[in-house]
Amino acid sequence: MRIIFIGAGNLATHLAQALNNAGHEILQVYSRTMMSAETLARKVGAKAVTDIDALRDDADACIMAVKDSVLEELIPKVCAKRKNIVFMHTAGSMSMSLFEEHAQSYGVFYPMQSFSKERTVDFSEIPCFLEWNGDRARIVITRLAESVSRIHYEMDSDARKHLHLAAVFASNFVNHCYALSAELLEKYNIPFDVMLPLTDEVARKVHEIAPKDAQTGPAVRYDENVMDKHKRMLEDNPTMEKIYEIMSESIHNAAIKK
């Protein structure tokens, strides 16, 4: 298929390359800055553009991989005068209905993964969550998904919002806890590498047992002696102390329910 990409960030970079490797033709890459557009365009043999009016109208699909905050502004401009294209965005928390008044065929292509340009990912292992407004959009979106990933699900906008929220807890919040751990270790010149066997084991465990069954630590048994010591150690960082207290309470409550 012939595809236009709106956006040249982390997700756009990985998805455009995966689609290009699968045999699709990336016609254009649009970004606000020529440098960003050219960087991705060179990787996929596309033309870089910074003018929405210069976008072609003969593509099969247009994938909008941009920040949620600019989707509403860009959609009317990009969809205008391009009625034969199937439009889709890649946002986990934004409704498909954003396209309603601006496009005939549209949907969502949401690859649920944390993307960084400098890290290679196996796109075939990334679950993709799809939504469409009609048969034409369904055919285009599912074909694109099938060409790059072996895991894809149809999911409506409401369910996808909850999926995205769950992903924030499982990824962003967990990674922030890693950052807080590294901050505590840094004070005593201890490298974060010492935590890797522990974090790797926790990650492996949840492949085999439910997260609630994998939980360990002082909060599970509500060891107040240990927890009080920890909180006193965090008195110089009220935010971290509050996080510790809320997390510990949540862990203990979950253990009681179990």
- Give 40-81 pLDDT, tens digit per residue: 999 999 999 999 999 999 999 999 999 998 999 999 999 998
pLDDT, residue 119, reads: 86
pLDDT above 90: residue 258: no
Token readout for 37 is 């557009």
| pTM for the model | 0.90
Q: In angstroms, what CA-CA distances link 3 with 59, 86, 120? A: 6, 10, 22
- Give 116-151 pLDDT, tens digit per residue: 888 888 999 999 999 999 999 999 999 999 999 999
**Residue-averaged pLDDT of the chain:** 96
Q: Using 50, 70 and 90 to split pLDDT, how confident is the model at 175?
A: very high
- Give 198-244 pLDDT, tens digit per residue: 999 999 999 999 999 999 999 998 899 999 999 999 999 999 999 99
Burial state string for 191-223 with b = 16 or more CB within 10 A and e = fewer than 16: eeeeeeeeeeeeeeeeeeeeeeeebeebbeeee
- Give 25-36 pLDDT, tens digit per residue: 999 999 999 999
